[in-house]
Amino acid sequence: MNFEEFQHLARLSIVGALDPDELAQFQAGRLEFGAEAEAFIDECRKLNAVFALSLRPCAPDPRTKARILAQIKRSPAARRVAWRRRQRGNAVAGKLAPELN
C-alpha cells in the first residue's frame, strides 16, 4: 500500500465507512506509516469536526415529527403513564367531589 491509498482509507475510517478487510488494511497502514499516518488521521478528524459544525440544522419535516410523536404515544410506556395520570386524576376528583357538595 502506498501513502495515497492509506489516506483514502483514513478518510473513510473517520466516517466509519470501512468494511472489515479495509479496516485491516488501514490498521496495517497505520503501523507502516507511523507518525505520518497518525498526523494525517488527526488532520482528518479535525476537518471532519469542522465540517460537522459548519452544517446548518434544518427543521424536520412536520409529517416526520407527527409520525414520531404518534409512535411515542402508542408505546407501552406512554400508555402506562397516561393510565397513571388518569388514576391520579380519578383519585383527586374523588377527594374533591365531597367538598363540592
30 close to 37: Cβ distance less than 8 angstroms: yes
Per-residue pLDDT of the chain (101 residues; tens, 9 = 90+): 999 999 999 999 999 999 999 999 999 999 999 999 999 999 999 999 999 888 888 887 889 888 888 888 888 887 888 888 888 876 665 655 555 44
User: Using CA atoms, how far apart are residues 94 and 101, in angstroms rounded to an integer?
Assistant: 12
Whether 44 and 66 map to the same domain: the answer is: no
How far apart CA 17 and CA 22 sit, in angstroms, is: 9
Q: Which domain holds residue 88?
A: 62-100
Same domain, 50 and 68: no
Into how many domains does the chain fold? 2
pTM of the model: 0.55
In angstroms, rounded to a whole number, what is the distance separating the alpha carbons of residues 31 and 24?
A: 11
Residues 40 and 78 in one domain: no
Q: Does residue 74 share a domain with residue 34? A: no
Query: Do 49 and 71 lie in a common domain?
Result: no
